[in-house]
Structure 1
Amino acid sequence: MLGIGTLTRKVFGTPNDRKVKSVRPLVERINALEEETRALSDEELVQKTEQMKARHSNGESLDDLLPEAFATCREAAHRALGLRAFDVQLMGGIFMHQGNIAEMKTGEGKTLVATFPAYLNALSGKGVHIVTVNDYLARRDADWMGKVYAALGLTTGVVYPRQPEDEKRAAYQADITYATNNELGFDYLRDNMKSELSQMYQRGHNFAIVDEVDSILIDEARTPLIISGPSDDRSELYIAIDRIIPSLSDDHFTIDEKTRNVTFTDEGNEFLEDRLKLAGLLEDERTLYDPESTTVVHHVNQALRAHKLFQKDKDYIVRDNEVVLIDEFTGRMMLGRRLSEGLHQAIEAKEQCKIQPENVTLAQVTFQNYFRLYSKLAGMTGTASTEAEEFAEIYGLGVVEVPTNKPIARIDEDDKVYRTGREKYDAIVAEIKVAHEKRQPVLVGTTSIEKSEMLSELLKKEGLPHNVLNARQHEMEAQIVGDAGKLGAITIATNMAGRGTDIKLGGNVEMKVIEALDADPNGNPDEIRRRIEAEHADEEQAVMDAGGLFVLATERHESRRIDNQLRGRSGRQGDPGRSSFFLSLEDDLMRIFGSERLDNVLGKLGMQEGEAIVHPWVNKSLERAQAKVEGRNFDIRKQLLKFDDVMNDQRKVIFAQRREIMEAEDLSETTEDMRDQVIDDLVDGYCPPKSYADQWDTQGLYAGVLEKLGLDAPVLAWADEDGVDQDVIRDRLTELADKQMADKAEAFGPDTMRQIEKQLILQTIDGKWREHLLTLEHLRSVVGFRGYAQRDPLNEYKTEAFQLFEGMLESLRADVTSKLGQIRPMTEEERRQMAEQMMRQQQRSEVAAAQAPAGATNPEQEAVGPAVAPQEPLVEGFDETNPDTWGNPGRNDPCPCGSGNKFKHCHGRLA
């Protein structure tokens, strides 16, 4: 008997069905224009773009232009790539233009789908960003789909790490820009550390299409993007603390695997105190609870996390004496990414690798807050519906499941649950053997490098040939994935999210052609392609006859999406296939989330060795457990975002203020207002209102004026005069300060003075913002304890963060005024000394270059290698942390630090 919900859906359809039905009339209008568009010449296609741009600028909406634009784009894709978009691909494009996530199964052609909304929105002239998960995909898609945009008269750019500045600027100026989420976020931060508008890359945030949107906006959103600079080297501290951790017993700490948290017990704290005192890391009279012990306690906690929560070959690998993180969702190495707050250093100490210095944060942003900058956001992926609530609540994105072009023919079997891991792996090997004997390709999914290599050893013992794809084989990824659909292939893969290369039955034709051409460079490319395509058709049919791709998962992941991504590798575009999950009660998910009841049930059933329980109820039970974990992770991310939103509001104010300063031609009024406020504060502080002259602290006022304004004012004499009150003092100080600045402007020249004011304000803002970020980090780490006093940590954080921000702005005024009061033009003697220093520096550089060994001319090698000669500052008393000691070099003068670079490219550059 049908349930009420099922019956209702049968009669009225699901909300998703209604959304799909609503866009069918639009698809029909696009199809009706096909013949007309096909008749256009290549030049007329380009003209069509120009016409639609003009119509849009004259008031016609993008929605009105949609049918015509999609029809034009479809024709351009057909001419440029030989691909004619299916109706369901047009639907996906419409949903994305409307600001939704289009959930499209693997192999349905999402890369082509993105061209339709990208083209339509590029008609506004404001630029479109297409976001991918790695640099390989960004370059590949830009090159591939760039042919479509070129046929429409639009430009395409691609952004990648360590890109030349001019090339990157041109990429952002293009109509459509392909880039990774990391590079977009970092460029946003870099732009807001620049000192001139001309140095900025991005031109606003109009419309972004995010590929693998669940991976980028959910999985990676937990880790903020941080631009940092090195701090003091504390390697010895990490090594000393690391020596203590192995001596801990199980009674000294507790692990909560559900929340991935580890804490010391009271017994552990006592043990630690003794050991830290013996090691000389804690003074005898101190305890771990003293405020002075905060740093040591922090590092001890990080060392404990490094040892007990982070596993080698699962969370990270050691490569070339370096700890490289592994993305738990894609199995990829995250080169250049480091854990913050000393945790990465703790892992380096544990693995006895070279310990890199901790970094101080210069700028940071989360992906949530970066992508919420866009006026319109869209996404595409094979798996998003399980996280629809999070997409809607955080990003305002709807999720629409787009029907497949052909019905899915894959058979999804019920999970098989075994008592022990050994029984499970025996069954997995037996199942792979059966599939291999009938030449069916098998894709085996594992959750860690360790398990993939353990399974590989089991297959070797059985004489089963196979490939292993994990972070260690990262470079061969495309080749291994391309071969995974070949007849009889066995591929073990650690997570398959966002791989970007489809597994095609019979193997990848393009890769086979490239291999054949490499083997026979003198062969006829057309003949080779024809031969390979004929061979491929036979092999593809043989694979289909064997049952298509068999996806065998060795564990359930915490997230249903990751399981669905693996499953979706089979059965693309109507291909046959099957999927099966093999589990045991010893798996992490089963063990942590309620396997006891299931263990009791299996025991009562009297199951034999090697026997599995297979039932739809087990699947439902597991899905409920996964849904609970997903819900908990969502709550964690939501809470983190609430804290980050506080900083984000302040970040927006600071970045907007910086931009205003860079756009301004003359900041003399701004600096004058700052100066007046400082004078008001000084007079009110030392000569309080309604007080008598004999109650004033004139000595304090004199010292304050000298320090804050750089003025040697006769304050003591003024106070002895009759009739002098606070207003007179204030007016006289203002007059002196204004004259001082007017004299400086005349000495420097008006243009130079304007430039000095601009650079000084920007440098001071950046310095204050860096200090503020560090203060907020510390506040964030301790505010949680306020909960024990029945106070809401978030409200406490908001209140204190606002007070800190106000204090930062006040000190900003004082610092800018003080620095402007102290600057002065260089004397002739100082210029002569600087020229002599430059000459000596040049001579040293020439000698060093002559003595350098062969092959040391690569600038990257020089950057990371030891310096040939120590740098000697060109200005005596130079302190790189204090701009007041830099003298007053012009932007094209040598930097006073002695690097040999121009000032604008060295300490004069905020980057």
Structure 2
Amino acid sequence: MIDNLLKKLIGSKNDRELKRLWAKVQFINALEPEISALSDEALKAKTPYLREKLANGATLEDILPEAFAVAREASKRVLKMRHFDVQLVGGMVLHEGKVAEMRTGEGKTLTATLPLYLNALAGKGAHLVTVNDYLARRDAEWMGRLYSWLGLTIGVIQHGLDDQERRDAYGCDITYATNNELGFDYLRDNMKWDLEDFTQRGFHYAIVDEVDSILIDEARTPLIIAGSSEEDTSKYFRIDAIVPKLKAEVHYKVDEKDRQVMLTDEGIHHAEQLLGVANLYDPGSIETLHGLNQALLAHNLYRLDVDYMVRPKEDGKGMEVVIVDEFTGRLMPGRRWSNGLHQAIEAKEGVEVNAENQTLATVTFQNFFRMYGKLAGMTGTAETEATELHSIYKLDVIIVPTNMPMIRKDFADTVYATRSGKKKAIVEEIRELHTKGQPVLVGTASIESSEDLADALKAARIPHVVLNAKHHEREAEIVAQAGRKSAVTIATNMAGRGTDIILGGNPEGMARLEAKKKDIALYDEEGFETAEFSALVEQMREQTAAEHEEVVSLGGLHILGTERHESRRIDNQLRGRAGRQGDPGSSRFYLSLEDDLMRIFGGDRIKSLMGAMGMNDDEPIEAGMVTRAIERSQKRVEAHHFEIRKHLLEYDDVMNKQRIFFYGLRTEILKGNTKDYVLRVAGEIAEGICNDFLPDKGERDLAGFRERVEQLFTLTGEEVDAVGQLPYAQAREALAVLVQKFYEGKDERLGGEGMRSYERWSILQIIDAAWKRHLLVMDHLKEAIGFRGYGQKDPLVEYKRESYEYFEQMRFGYEDEIISYLYRVEPQPAYTPDEDLFRGPSDTFELGPDEQGNAPDGIQRVLRFTAGGLED
């Protein structure tokens, strides 16, 4: 109550922030007459002028008003779009390293040009992170015309680029890329053998588009680079063959809420008989038990055309399982579930099973994006995740007002007892709206449900188009037409589609399609529209203008959701497609008690209530109680996923410290500081030997001392024996001098430059192999650590303690190996190692890099601590 009173008196924090930013908007607007009066050449000259101001001590905040005014004027001239005042507010929110929540249709793509231009002037690079390659390429081409005209360079990172192309793109002032490509390039760079081969140049400033999708939804899946392992894949088919012989509830129980399958005692005995195994829980059978659990998951919780598709391979040789992104409904070719789950699904579908992989490098999105000096984000739906964005990324959410008032009508959910009753009602509503002429966007949660509904509409003779993972190539074309009169569009999850649905049709989108057919160039060398393309746009604008008015009079775009998603944000993203820029619109969700969300989270209670009220399949219920029950279910699922992400981050924070140390060491070695490193480590080892064998107090072990010095430093004879006779402090100093003198003698004998090169390659081979072994140990530790809970110990505390011990063991191990190797080996003078021999050594990667030094194949994303993860 007091909070509400204070809000009324002084406004919310969001209101106060907006008030501060509106004052700056007035200042930027005051510059508009002066900037508008400049010639094209004078406006372009503002870029070097602003850069010079920064070089002379001005800050980005000092030049912000002028930079924003310049970018807005350039946009008017090049893109034919003038930033709204609310977009200036959004741009300032992004510049300050916060999240701008801007509704769909408010122009986030154009808003981002302001802070990107401003921050790129610093010359350290500015990144725009998108959810897929299509949007990265489209936005870079579209907005890139503005940046190029102002004298900035633009790069775009796409799947399939070689290292030089990536290096060039990262070297640009502004770079568009997907979150996956950025993360994998970071991991690949830290597996390189030469600093000149690195593609990235640091992490200065980034704007994350669809920030909730990338930093929240996808944060459950770490990025992993892996190499293949030797594995007999026939076991997956052998295990898969027995699954149909096991009965649900008798031999195993399915927990859909936590996505787990558990064998019963009867099931264990029956499976042992079917597999010919004496005891599934014997250490020798643990892999078989794991494979059986994954096969049960594959058969009971992962569905064809919902979670994955089976399609022909690109080379035409056989079929493959391709994952469908649960948040965007897009296919994710090349990615694989981890922990044997993908192999279990391949066996289930009868396609070729590929061997599991071993981790070579890994990072979570949380820890990757926290490396940026300044991080910002934009989305239409961030408010529900504001707490998590602040706690993990220190990102505050600012809700930017709409340019025009929002007048969309959101109707209450309509609930049916069965799916068949719901489908019948959906088809009838679509028929009614289609006949009336009102466009309808139907949101489905999976490919399977979109095609099932498409079949029903076909039977009812209602014309429609389907947008799902099977038709993603036509995405822009389908969405551009979705606002036309009588249009019926069925789409799987609409997150990050990045294309506006304009009532009456999108004239520019339609003109692009027409230009493609007629082979008309869109832009000239200056980045301006060609006369032919401009004429096409005008022609389409005339065609759509009348239709726009007609569709507005019919009530605008109607959003029809066929079921609730487990996240409220995904539902809001679908709703947000209607009511853009003050247009009318409406939305309604149709649900059934057989929907997954309702069935798993308390549908029985509502079902019994409907039965008591004597309601049949065809009668809907519209009640606040149902809507509240659904919201409670969604909140529980969101809380569950937050716990998974938090759990993942807590564990990865431990690994992150080790990763930073290891990658830092690699970078120092690559910079050529190898002699200092070798002598420092040699001195520390010498001190350790004296501590162990020549203690200040206690019994001395001279024989052990001599043996250890010879083993590590190859030093023998009277000098070593003489050191062993000295008191502890003098012995420690004398051994350090002896060790250093021996190595410097070798260095002088062999020629410094050749020795540096040899040291670099040798050290990298040894530490990379050690890091690879350490990651394997950590994978096993993560899998087993949960059992510590049964012994009343906190698994996370145990993981921190043991991982530190393993890391120290690894570090001491590779340091001993480096010293032993470099003190013993005798390379030829002026030795230069064969690069091809060292770039992909067999003890570092199973899959070596190609001739250009690109990273191995087998790149993955993996989800730990849940039933399955993703691998790339």
TM-score, normalised to structure 2, is 0.89
CA contact (8 A) 1:206 1:375 kept: yes
Aligned residues: 840
SS at match of 1:797: helix
| Closer/same/farther in 2, CA of residues 529 and 770 from structure 1, 3 Å limit | same
C-alpha distance in 2 between matches for 1:24 and 1:12: 17
C-alpha distance in 1 between matches for 2:73 and 2:566: 43
Counterpart residue number, 2:644? 636
CA contact (8 A) 1:683 1:701 kept: no
Q: Tell me the CA shift for residue 432 of structure 1.
A: 0.6
Q: Tell me the CA shift for residue 112 of structure 1.
A: 0.6
Counterpart residue number, 2:563? 555
Kindly provide the CA deviation profile for residues 481-525 of structure 1, in whole angstroms up to 9, marking residues without a partner as x: 222222222111111110112222222223322443455559965
C-alpha distance in 2 between matches for 1:199 and 1:519: 42
Kindly provide the CA deviation profile for residues 317-366 of structure 1, in whole angstroms up to 9, marking residues without a partner as x: 11111111111010001111111222211211121111112111111111
Counterpart residue number, 1:786? 788
In the alignment, does 2:820 pair up with 1:818? yes
| Closer/same/farther in 2, CA of residues 36 and 244 from structure 1, 3 Å limit | same
Counterpart residue number, 2:774? 772
CA contact (8 A) 1:188 1:202 kept: yes
Q: Tell me the CA shift for residue 292 of structure 1.
A: 3.8
C-alpha distance in 2 between matches for 1:165 and 1:800: 37
Q: Which amino acid aligns with 2:304?
A: K
Structure 1 vs Structure 2 CA RMSD: 3.4
Q: Which amino acid aligns with 2:818?
A: V
C-alpha distance in 2 between matches for 1:747 and 1:242: 63
C-alpha distance in 2 between matches for 1:534 and 1:874: 65
CA contact (8 A) 2:237 2:347 kept: yes
CA contact (8 A) 2:723 2:735 kept: no
For residues 540-551 of structure 1, what are the structure 2 equivalents within 5 Å? 540-551=548-559
CA contact (8 A) 2:765 2:841 kept: no
| Closer/same/farther in 2, CA of residues 364 and 269 from structure 1, 3 Å limit | same
In the alignment, does 2:309 pair up with 1:317? yes
C-alpha distance in 1 between matches for 2:311 and 2:21: 51
Q: Tell me the CA shift for residue 582 of structure 1.
A: 0.4
C-alpha distance in 2 between matches for 1:317 and 1:651: 35
Q: Which amino acid aligns with 1:561?
A: R
C-alpha distance in 2 between matches for 1:594 and 1:605: 18
Counterpart residue number, 1:852? none
C-alpha distance in 2 between matches for 1:482 and 1:85: 22
Counterpart residue number, 2:110? 112
C-alpha distance in 2 between matches for 1:563 and 1:879: 47
SS at match of 1:208: strand
Kindly provide the CA deviation profile for residues 739-768 of structure 1, in whole angstroms up to 9, marking residues without a partner as x: 764565356432111111122222222221
SS at match of 1:409: coil
CA contact (8 A) 2:220 2:644 kept: no
C-alpha distance in 2 between matches for 1:581 and 1:721: 83
| Closer/same/farther in 2, CA of residues 290 and 826 from structure 1, 3 Å limit | farther
Counterpart residue number, 1:670? 677
For residues 312-461 of structure 1, what are the structure 2 equivalents within 5 Å? 312-320=304-312, 321-461=319-459
C-alpha distance in 2 between matches for 1:593 and 1:721: 74
CA contact (8 A) 1:747 1:825 kept: no
SS at match of 1:305: helix
Counterpart residue number, 1:271? 270
C-alpha distance in 2 between matches for 1:419 and 1:467: 28
| Closer/same/farther in 2, CA of residues 767 and 617 from structure 1, 3 Å limit | same
In the alignment, does 2:619 pair up with 1:650? no
Kindly provide the CA deviation profile for residues 194-249 of structure 1, in whole angstroms up to 9, marking residues without a partner as x: 22222212222111100011110011110001111111132122222222322222
| Closer/same/farther in 2, CA of residues 720 and 654 from structure 1, 3 Å limit | closer
In the alignment, does 2:837 pair up with 1:881? no
Aligned with residue 76 of structure 2, among 75, 78, 102: 78
* Structure 2: 5+ residue stretches without partners: 313-318, 521-530, 861-872
Counterpart residue number, 1:602? 610
Aligned with residue 761 of structure 2, among 759, 762, 765: 759
Counterpart residue number, 1:804? 806
CA contact (8 A) 1:559 1:629 kept: yes
Q: Tell me the CA shift for residue 89 of structure 1.
A: 0.7
CA contact (8 A) 2:476 2:509 kept: no
For residues 434-583 of structure 1, what are the structure 2 equivalents within 5 Å? 434-520=432-518, 527-583=535-591
Q: Tell me the CA shift for residue 708 of structure 1.
A: 3.8
CA contact (8 A) 1:181 1:216 kept: yes
Between Structure 1 and Structure 2, whose CA radius of gyration is higher? Answer: 1
Q: Tell me the CA shift for residue 555 of structure 1.
A: 0.2
Aligned with residue 177 of structure 2, among 176, 179, 201: 179
C-alpha distance in 2 between matches for 1:879 and 1:189: 15
Counterpart residue number, 1:261? 260
For residues 216-227 of structure 1, what are the structure 2 equivalents within 5 Å? 216-227=214-225
Answer with 474-483 or 49-58: which moved more. 49-58
Q: Which amino acid aligns with 2:356?
A: E
Kindly provide the CA deviation profile for residues 679-709 of structure 1, in whole angstroms up to 9, marking residues without a partner as x: 555566567776778x6556x964x566544
| Closer/same/farther in 2, CA of residues 17 and 682 from structure 1, 3 Å limit | closer
Q: Which amino acid aligns with 1:392?
A: H
SS at match of 1:195: coil
In the alignment, does 2:141 pair up with 1:143? yes
C-alpha distance in 2 between matches for 1:733 and 1:404: 73
CA contact (8 A) 2:409 2:586 kept: yes
For residues 191-202 of structure 1, what are the structure 2 equivalents within 5 Å? 191-202=189-200
Kindly provide the CA deviation profile for residues 723-753 of structure 1, in whole angstroms up to 9, marking residues without a partner as x: 6899999899878865764565356432111
C-alpha distance in 1 between matches for 2:750 and 2:853: 18
Which gives a bigger RCO, structure 1 or 2 (Cα 8 Å, sep 6+)?
A: 2
| Closer/same/farther in 2, CA of residues 19 and 675 from structure 1, 3 Å limit | closer
TM-score, normalised to structure 1, is 0.86
Answer with 3-12 or 559-568: which moved more. 3-12
SS at match of 1:506: coil
C-alpha distance in 1 between matches for 2:457 and 2:226: 45
CA contact (8 A) 2:766 2:814 kept: yes
Aligned with residue 749 of structure 1, among 748, 751, 764: 751
C-alpha distance in 1 between matches for 2:358 and 2:578: 46
CA contact (8 A) 1:682 1:701 kept: no
| Closer/same/farther in 2, CA of residues 800 and 723 from structure 1, 3 Å limit | closer
C-alpha distance in 2 between matches for 1:451 and 1:690: 77
Q: Which amino acid aligns with 2:752?
A: P
| Closer/same/farther in 2, CA of residues 797 and 723 from structure 1, 3 Å limit | closer
For residues 209-248 of structure 1, what are the structure 2 equivalents within 5 Å? 209-248=207-246
Q: Which amino acid aligns with 1:132?
A: T
Counterpart residue number, 1:847? none
CA contact (8 A) 1:687 1:697 kept: no
Counterpart residue number, 1:891? none
* Structure 1: 5+ residue stretches without partners: 836-872, 887-896
CA contact (8 A) 1:718 1:729 kept: no
| Closer/same/farther in 2, CA of residues 9 and 680 from structure 1, 3 Å limit | closer
| Closer/same/farther in 2, CA of residues 365 and 527 from structure 1, 3 Å limit | closer
Q: Which amino acid aligns with 2:759?
A: E
| Closer/same/farther in 2, CA of residues 874 and 758 from structure 1, 3 Å limit | closer
SS at match of 1:772: helix
C-alpha distance in 2 between matches for 1:12 and 1:146: 42
| Closer/same/farther in 2, CA of residues 238 and 736 from structure 1, 3 Å limit | farther
In the alignment, does 2:287 pair up with 1:288? no
CA contact (8 A) 2:120 2:174 kept: yes
C-alpha distance in 2 between matches for 1:260 and 1:900: 37
Q: Which amino acid aligns with 1:778?
A: H
Counterpart residue number, 1:96? 94
